[in-house]
Amino acid sequence: MTSSTDSAQFPLLKTPSFLKLMAFRLSVIFSYQIVAVVVGWHIYQLTRDPLSLGLIGLAEVVPYICTALFAGYAVDHHSRRFFGAMAGGVLMLNALTLAAVSAGYLPGNPTYWIYGSIVCVGFARAFIGPSFSALFALVIPRSEFGRAAGVGSSIFQIGLVMGPALGGILVGWTTVSVAYLVSAGFAVMAAVAILSIRVVEPPPAESVPVFTSIGQGLRFVFSNQIVLGAQALDMFAVLFGGAVAMLPAFIHDVYHHGPEGLGILRAAPAVGAVIIGIVLARHPLNRHAGKYLLMAVAGFGVSIILFGLTAHFWLAAFLLALSGVFDGISVVLRTTIMQLMTPDAMRGRVSAINGIFIGSSNELGAFESGVSARLMGLVPSVIFGGTMTLAVVAATARLAPRLRRLHLHELH
């Protein structure tokens, strides 16, 4: 780990465009995470079936995957800010629909309305990552990408801490409908923040047919061992090692806590990630970055295995926080690698491909966890997932030697 240069060299936290971009990120995460916690609680109360929790992820990931590459193309060829604001508007309408469902204003089976609403979330999410990534590279100089990634990761994880906690508190102290309305308010704030960014957007990428343009992005990723290795590592680790989707079942069946306890456990990984994000913003990793990335994902897998083995609520919270520390290291390193290696004209498309690798793995992981819990039982499914994460690390270390030997200074 190498010390950063003087933070006054480029004052990130005094740059209006960067602050507004971080406000967009924080607001959109609040909106999304409140809904994620409340929907999980809401639908488990209706069904009492762990598989129903996994189906939430499936309902979101299918439209996300179908839309992501086209979203990346749109961001590269049109306004970055517009599509980010549009995503915020969709999240707002989604939250309002869920509030109407919970209040009994919409007829029919409420679970159908919930899953249908989550489908809309998948469409919106497809535009958030590419918009953020493209604007990220416009508001700060290239030399500050590593430090800005640390700040951005901390902001992201603060949202993951406070969003679930706020969602749990709102459900416990008010009603599900109020929680959804608060989520809608944060979605509006996100749209306003991104539209207020003052930055000169570059000319659109060369006009080529949609599928040809998407193919260019795919060829770039799949021909680059470092980018592909980093994305695949996180994708499979999250796919098998994600235990968060099963937390409502753990809360009900293992720890016997209420919605506040669910908020604590959902927030715990982000607590660890915030701490490490702050450290990495001040002291970014440079030498042996590839080895640190592999070790971090391995540590994540071990933490998940230990989480599955404990029946004590606060020890479980600690282990989830520890998993967040390791995941935070992985996120910062992967973000920095992607930003440094991606050509400016391809940022939307590469971010969209990255989103399919990483973002969709959360929802597919939720579905995998639900199916595994149904087949193996709740605790064995989590232990199995953590073990598979360790296997993924071993395979990546062997198959991607350039990633294993990577030093970030080689990419500047």
| pLDDT, tens digit (0-9, with 9 covering 90-100), for 234-286 | 777 777 766 677 787 788 778 877 777 877 887 788 788 888 878 887 777 77
Which of these three, 145, 170, 204, is where a domain ends? Answer: 204
Residue 27's pLDDT band, with cuts at 50, 70 and 90, is very high
Q: Are residues 237 and 368 in the same domain?
A: yes
Average pLDDT of the residues in 63-80: 81
Within a domain: residue 26? yes
Q: Pick from 395, 145, 381: which is nearest to 243 by CA?
A: 381
- Choice between 245 and 380, residue whose per-residue pLDDT is larger: 380
| pLDDT band (50, 70, 90) for residue 5 | very low
The position carrying tokens 């939720």 is 366
Q: Mean pLDDT throughout 364-384?
A: 77
Domain count, the chain: 2
Residue 5: inside a domain: no
In a domain, 6, yes or no: no
* Angle subtended at Cα 64 by Cα 37 and Cα 344, rounded to the nearest 5 degrees: 110
> 1-5, 45-49, 86-90: which has the minimum mean pLDDT?
1-5
Residue 50's pLDDT is 67
- Residue 231, amino acid: Q
Q: What is the dihedral of CA 179, 184, 186, 189, to 10 degrees?
A: -160
Q: Is 197 exposed, middle or buried (0-12, 13-18, 19+ CB in 10 A)?
A: buried
Q: What is the pLDDT of residue 91?
A: 94
Q: What is the pLDDT of residues 173-197, one digit of tens each?
A: 888 889 999 999 999 999 999 999 8
Q: Are 129 and 352 in contact (CB under 8 A)?
A: yes
Encoding tokens for residue 195?
């539209």
135 with 221, same domain? no
Give the burial string for 324-337 (b: 16+ CB within 10 Å, else e). Answer: bbbbbbbbbbbbbb
- Residues 319, 315: Cα–Cα separation, whole Å: 6
Residue 7 within any structural domain of the chain: no
Q: Residue 409: is its pLDDT beyond 70? A: no
410 pLDDT tier (thresholds 50, 70, 90): low
348 is a domain residue: yes
- The torsion of the CA quartet 304, 309, 314, 315, rounded to 10 degrees, works out to -80
Q: Give Rg (Cα) of the chain.
A: 20
Encoded tokens for 52:
């129903």
Tell me: do 80 and 23 sit in the same domain: yes
- The domain boundary, picked from 204, 234, 259, lies at 204
- The chain-wide mean pLDDT, for the chain, equals 80
List, for residues 290-348, the tens digit of each pLDDT value: 788 899 989 998 998 998 888 888 998 899 999 889 988 888 888 788 777 777 677 77
Give the number of other Cβ atoms within 10 Å of residue 287's Cβ.
14
Chain-centroid distance of CA 379 in Å reads 24
For residue 360, what pLDDT is reported? 61
Comparing 168-172, 344-348, 398-402, the range with the smallest average pLDDT is 344-348
pLDDT of residue 4: 40
Kindly state whether residues 101 and 212 are assigned to the same domain. no
**What are the C-alpha distances in Å from 405 to residues 226, 237, 374, 395?**
10, 20, 40, 15
Cα–Cα dist 182/167, whole Å: 9
Distance from C-alpha of 9 to C-alpha of 408, rounded to nearest angstrom? 20
Listed in sequence order, the DSSP H helices in 283-377 are 289-309, 313-341, 347-376
Q: Which residue has the tokens 């607590």?
A: 271
In a domain, 99, yes or no: yes
Residue 28: the pLDDT is: 93
pLDDT at 2 over 50: no
Looking at the fold, whether 195 and 212 belong to one and the same domain comes out as no
- Tell whether the model's pLDDT for residue 370 goes beyond 90: no
CATH number at residue 223: 1.20.1250.20
Tokens of 161: 């801490």
Q: Which residue has the higher pLDDT, 329 or 143?
A: 329
Which pair of structure tokens corresponds to residue 155? 């902001």
Q: How far is CA 403 from CA 130, 227, 290, in A?
A: 24, 8, 5
pLDDT recorded at residue 371: 76
pLDDT tens per residue, range 208-235: 667 677 777 778 877 777 877 887 787 7
With cut-offs at 50, 70 and 90, classify the pLDDT of residue 144.
confident
Q: Identify whether the C-beta of residue 194 lies closer than 8 Å to the C-beta of residue 320.
A: no
**Mean pLDDT over residues 93-121, rounded?**
86
Two tokens, residue 310:
């404990």
Instruction: Please identify, among 179, 204, 229, the residue that sits at the C-terminal boundary of a domain.
Output: 204
Structural domain span for residue 44: 12-204
Q: What is the model's pLDDT at position 183?
A: 93
Residues 6 or more apart from 225 whose CB is under 8 A from it?
A: 400, 402, 403
- Alpha carbon distance 347, 221 (integer Å): 11
131 vs 223 pLDDT, higher one: 131
What average pLDDT does range 46-72 have in this prediction? 78
Same domain, 227 and 154: no
**By the 8 A CB rule, do 35 and 121 touch?**
yes
Instruction: Give the tokens for residue 379.
Output: 């605790």
